[in-house]
Structure 1
Amino acid sequence: MSTNPNITAGSLDEVFPLPGRSRPRPSPEAVAALAACRKAKSAAYSASVETAGMPGRPTVTAARGEVQFVVHPRTLADWSRWKQTLGVTDVRGDSTGTAMVVRLTYAGVRARLVGYGVPALYAGQAAAKGGARA
Protein backbone atom coordinates (compact mmCIF):
# COMPACT_ATOMS: atom_id res chain seq x y z
CA MET A 1 0.00 0.00 0.00
CA SER A 2 1.21 3.49 -0.85
CA THR A 3 2.26 5.91 1.89
CA ASN A 4 1.00 8.87 -0.14
CA PRO A 5 -2.48 9.80 1.15
CA ASN A 6 -3.51 11.27 -2.23
CA ILE A 7 -3.25 7.89 -4.00
CA THR A 8 -6.14 5.52 -3.39
CA ALA A 9 -6.28 1.82 -4.15
CA GLY A 10 -8.45 2.49 -7.21
CA SER A 11 -6.01 5.01 -8.67
CA LEU A 12 -3.11 2.53 -8.44
CA ASP A 13 -4.72 0.58 -11.25
CA GLU A 14 -4.75 3.72 -13.37
CA VAL A 15 -1.08 4.48 -12.67
CA PHE A 16 0.12 0.89 -13.04
CA PRO A 17 -2.13 -0.96 -15.49
CA LEU A 18 -2.36 -4.71 -15.24
CA PRO A 19 0.03 -6.64 -17.49
CA GLY A 20 -1.36 -6.98 -20.98
CA ARG A 21 -3.94 -4.25 -20.65
CA SER A 22 -2.02 -1.72 -22.68
CA ARG A 23 0.13 -4.10 -24.70
CA PRO A 24 0.59 -2.75 -28.23
CA ARG A 25 -0.59 -4.79 -31.18
CA PRO A 26 2.21 -6.52 -33.05
CA SER A 27 3.27 -4.84 -36.26
CA PRO A 28 2.58 -6.54 -39.60
CA GLU A 29 6.35 -6.94 -40.01
CA ALA A 30 6.60 -8.76 -36.68
CA VAL A 31 3.73 -11.06 -37.62
CA ALA A 32 5.36 -11.80 -41.00
CA ALA A 33 8.74 -12.48 -39.34
CA LEU A 34 7.15 -14.89 -36.89
CA ALA A 35 5.39 -16.72 -39.73
CA ALA A 36 8.68 -16.95 -41.67
CA CYS A 37 10.46 -18.34 -38.61
CA ARG A 38 7.77 -20.97 -38.09
CA LYS A 39 7.87 -21.96 -41.75
CA ALA A 40 11.68 -22.21 -41.65
CA LYS A 41 11.58 -24.34 -38.51
CA SER A 42 9.08 -26.69 -40.13
CA ALA A 43 11.17 -26.87 -43.33
CA ALA A 44 14.33 -27.57 -41.30
CA TYR A 45 12.66 -30.45 -39.50
CA SER A 46 11.44 -31.93 -42.80
CA ALA A 47 14.87 -31.46 -44.36
CA SER A 48 16.67 -33.13 -41.45
CA VAL A 49 14.49 -36.22 -41.91
CA GLU A 50 14.84 -36.14 -45.70
CA THR A 51 18.63 -35.72 -45.72
CA ALA A 52 19.47 -38.08 -42.88
CA GLY A 53 21.23 -40.60 -45.16
CA MET A 54 23.19 -38.06 -47.17
CA PRO A 55 27.02 -38.00 -47.06
CA GLY A 56 28.97 -35.35 -45.21
CA ARG A 57 27.54 -35.37 -41.65
CA PRO A 58 24.67 -32.93 -42.33
CA THR A 59 23.44 -30.46 -39.75
CA VAL A 60 20.16 -28.69 -40.54
CA THR A 61 19.05 -25.67 -38.51
CA ALA A 62 16.63 -22.78 -38.80
CA ALA A 63 17.21 -19.21 -37.63
CA ARG A 64 15.79 -15.81 -38.59
CA GLY A 65 13.45 -17.34 -41.16
CA GLU A 66 16.23 -19.18 -42.99
CA VAL A 67 17.20 -22.86 -43.18
CA GLN A 68 20.90 -23.66 -43.05
CA PHE A 69 22.44 -26.92 -44.25
CA VAL A 70 26.00 -27.45 -43.01
CA VAL A 71 27.82 -30.38 -44.60
CA HIS A 72 31.36 -31.76 -44.74
CA PRO A 73 31.58 -33.53 -48.12
CA ARG A 74 34.58 -35.79 -48.71
CA THR A 75 34.46 -35.58 -52.51
CA LEU A 76 33.15 -33.25 -55.19
CA ALA A 77 30.65 -35.98 -56.06
CA ASP A 78 29.21 -35.67 -52.53
CA TRP A 79 29.01 -31.88 -52.98
CA SER A 80 27.26 -32.31 -56.35
CA ARG A 81 24.81 -34.74 -54.79
CA TRP A 82 23.90 -32.18 -52.12
CA LYS A 83 23.35 -29.46 -54.71
CA GLN A 84 21.23 -31.78 -56.86
CA THR A 85 19.14 -33.04 -53.92
CA LEU A 86 18.37 -29.51 -52.73
CA GLY A 87 17.70 -28.21 -56.24
CA VAL A 88 20.51 -25.67 -56.34
CA THR A 89 20.34 -23.74 -59.60
CA ASP A 90 23.04 -21.13 -58.89
CA VAL A 91 26.23 -23.18 -58.96
CA ARG A 92 28.56 -20.25 -58.34
CA GLY A 93 28.37 -19.87 -54.58
CA ASP A 94 30.66 -17.78 -52.41
CA SER A 95 33.92 -19.12 -51.02
CA THR A 96 34.91 -18.08 -47.52
CA GLY A 97 38.28 -19.80 -47.82
CA THR A 98 37.35 -22.87 -45.82
CA ALA A 99 33.74 -23.26 -46.94
CA MET A 100 31.53 -22.76 -49.98
CA VAL A 101 28.18 -21.05 -49.36
CA VAL A 102 25.37 -21.47 -51.88
CA ARG A 103 22.03 -19.67 -51.53
CA LEU A 104 18.83 -21.43 -52.53
CA THR A 105 15.13 -21.78 -51.79
CA TYR A 106 14.03 -24.95 -50.02
CA ALA A 107 10.31 -25.70 -49.56
CA GLY A 108 9.51 -22.03 -50.18
CA VAL A 109 11.98 -20.83 -47.52
CA ARG A 110 15.27 -18.99 -47.94
CA ALA A 111 18.12 -21.39 -47.33
CA ARG A 112 21.85 -21.74 -47.65
CA LEU A 113 24.06 -24.74 -48.16
CA VAL A 114 27.44 -24.47 -46.44
CA GLY A 115 30.02 -27.01 -47.56
CA TYR A 116 33.12 -27.08 -45.38
CA GLY A 117 36.23 -28.18 -47.25
CA VAL A 118 34.70 -27.68 -50.71
CA PRO A 119 37.18 -24.95 -51.80
CA ALA A 120 40.03 -27.35 -51.00
CA LEU A 121 38.33 -30.07 -53.06
CA TYR A 122 38.07 -27.69 -56.02
CA ALA A 123 41.72 -26.65 -55.57
CA GLY A 124 42.76 -30.31 -55.53
CA GLN A 125 40.83 -30.93 -58.73
CA ALA A 126 42.45 -27.90 -60.42
CA ALA A 127 45.90 -29.03 -59.29
CA ALA A 128 45.30 -32.52 -60.64
CA LYS A 129 44.23 -31.11 -64.02
CA GLY A 130 47.20 -28.73 -64.08
CA GLY A 131 49.61 -31.58 -63.24
CA ALA A 132 48.24 -33.74 -66.03
CA ARG A 133 48.97 -31.02 -68.64
CA ALA A 134 52.61 -30.56 -67.64
Structure 2
Amino acid sequence: MYIGQAAHRSGTTIKSIRHYESIGLLPAARRQGKYRVYDQQSVDLLIFIKCAQQLGFKLKELQAAFASQNGQPLSWVHAQQAITNKKQEINDQIAALTQRHAQLVEFERSLQNAWKDCPLEGP
Protein backbone atom coordinates (compact mmCIF):
# COMPACT_ATOMS: atom_id res chain seq x y z
CA MET A 1 0.00 0.00 0.00
CA TYR A 2 1.12 3.54 -0.62
CA ILE A 3 1.84 6.13 2.07
CA GLY A 4 -1.64 7.69 1.96
CA GLN A 5 -3.35 4.37 2.61
CA ALA A 6 -0.85 3.50 5.36
CA ALA A 7 -1.58 6.85 7.00
CA HIS A 8 -5.31 6.28 6.76
CA ARG A 9 -5.18 2.73 8.13
CA SER A 10 -2.93 3.71 11.03
CA GLY A 11 -4.68 6.96 11.90
CA THR A 12 -1.52 8.98 11.39
CA THR A 13 -0.54 11.52 8.77
CA ILE A 14 1.75 11.27 5.78
CA LYS A 15 3.94 13.92 7.39
CA SER A 16 4.21 11.82 10.57
CA ILE A 17 5.17 8.71 8.61
CA ARG A 18 7.94 10.59 6.82
CA HIS A 19 9.13 12.00 10.15
CA TYR A 20 9.15 8.57 11.82
CA GLU A 21 11.23 7.24 8.94
CA SER A 22 13.65 10.15 9.15
CA ILE A 23 14.30 9.59 12.88
CA GLY A 24 14.54 5.82 12.56
CA LEU A 25 11.30 4.82 14.31
CA LEU A 26 9.91 3.34 11.13
CA PRO A 27 12.14 1.39 8.76
CA ALA A 28 12.45 2.98 5.35
CA ALA A 29 9.73 1.72 3.07
CA ARG A 30 10.63 -0.18 -0.02
CA ARG A 31 10.12 1.78 -3.20
CA GLN A 32 8.09 1.07 -6.27
CA GLY A 33 9.34 3.65 -8.70
CA LYS A 34 9.15 6.95 -6.84
CA TYR A 35 6.45 5.73 -4.43
CA ARG A 36 6.92 4.36 -0.93
CA VAL A 37 5.21 1.01 -0.40
CA TYR A 38 4.21 -0.14 3.08
CA ASP A 39 3.13 -3.51 4.42
CA GLN A 40 0.80 -4.42 7.28
CA GLN A 41 3.75 -4.71 9.68
CA SER A 42 4.56 -1.04 9.04
CA VAL A 43 0.93 -0.08 9.67
CA ASP A 44 0.96 -2.08 12.92
CA LEU A 45 4.12 -0.28 13.99
CA LEU A 46 2.53 3.09 13.17
CA ILE A 47 -0.50 2.17 15.29
CA PHE A 48 1.83 1.15 18.13
CA ILE A 49 3.72 4.47 17.91
CA LYS A 50 0.49 6.47 17.89
CA CYS A 51 -0.92 4.54 20.86
CA ALA A 52 2.33 4.89 22.81
CA GLN A 53 2.33 8.65 22.21
CA GLN A 54 -1.26 8.92 23.44
CA LEU A 55 -0.15 7.14 26.63
CA GLY A 56 2.59 9.69 27.25
CA PHE A 57 5.63 8.25 25.51
CA LYS A 58 7.88 10.77 23.83
CA LEU A 59 9.38 9.97 20.45
CA LYS A 60 12.87 10.03 22.02
CA GLU A 61 11.77 7.31 24.47
CA LEU A 62 10.48 5.21 21.60
CA GLN A 63 13.69 5.81 19.67
CA ALA A 64 15.69 4.54 22.65
CA ALA A 65 13.53 1.43 22.93
CA PHE A 66 13.81 0.74 19.21
CA ALA A 67 17.55 1.46 19.12
CA SER A 68 18.16 -1.37 21.57
CA GLN A 69 16.71 -3.78 19.01
CA ASN A 70 19.49 -3.38 16.40
CA GLY A 71 17.03 -3.05 13.55
CA GLN A 72 14.79 -5.90 14.71
CA PRO A 73 11.10 -5.35 15.54
CA LEU A 74 10.45 -4.24 19.11
CA SER A 75 10.18 -7.33 21.28
CA TRP A 76 7.53 -7.85 23.94
CA VAL A 77 10.23 -7.87 26.64
CA HIS A 78 11.54 -4.45 25.59
CA ALA A 79 8.03 -3.06 25.17
CA GLN A 80 7.12 -4.33 28.64
CA GLN A 81 10.25 -2.72 30.12
CA ALA A 82 9.41 0.60 28.46
CA ILE A 83 5.86 0.38 29.86
CA THR A 84 7.19 -0.44 33.34
CA ASN A 85 9.56 2.53 33.17
CA LYS A 86 6.74 4.85 32.05
CA LYS A 87 4.47 3.65 34.86
CA GLN A 88 7.23 4.35 37.40
CA GLU A 89 7.74 7.81 35.93
CA ILE A 90 4.00 8.50 36.29
CA ASN A 91 3.99 7.16 39.87
CA ASP A 92 6.88 9.49 40.69
CA GLN A 93 4.97 12.42 39.19
CA ILE A 94 1.85 11.50 41.18
CA ALA A 95 3.88 11.38 44.39
CA ALA A 96 5.45 14.77 43.66
CA LEU A 97 2.06 16.31 42.84
CA THR A 98 0.50 14.78 45.96
CA GLN A 99 3.27 16.31 48.06
CA ARG A 100 2.84 19.69 46.35
CA HIS A 101 -0.91 19.52 46.97
CA ALA A 102 -0.34 18.82 50.68
CA GLN A 103 2.05 21.77 50.85
CA LEU A 104 -0.53 24.03 49.24
CA VAL A 105 -3.20 22.88 51.71
CA GLU A 106 -0.83 23.64 54.59
CA PHE A 107 0.11 27.02 53.10
CA GLU A 108 -3.56 27.90 52.68
CA ARG A 109 -4.25 26.86 56.28
CA SER A 110 -1.41 29.04 57.58
CA LEU A 111 -2.71 32.02 55.59
CA GLN A 112 -6.22 31.51 56.98
CA ASN A 113 -4.80 31.41 60.51
CA ALA A 114 -2.82 34.59 59.86
CA TRP A 115 -5.96 36.32 58.56
CA LYS A 116 -7.89 35.28 61.65
CA ASP A 117 -5.23 36.94 63.80
CA CYS A 118 -5.31 40.13 61.73
CA PRO A 119 -7.96 42.54 63.03
CA LEU A 120 -8.15 44.60 59.84
CA GLU A 121 -8.99 42.06 57.15
CA GLY A 122 -10.06 38.48 56.76
CA PRO A 123 -10.94 36.04 54.00
Q: TM-score, normalization: structure 1?
A: 0.28
User: Which structure shows the bigger proportion of residues in strand conformation?
Assistant: 1
The structure with the larger Rg is 1
- Give the alignment's TM-score, normalised by structure 2: 0.30
Higher relative helix content: 2
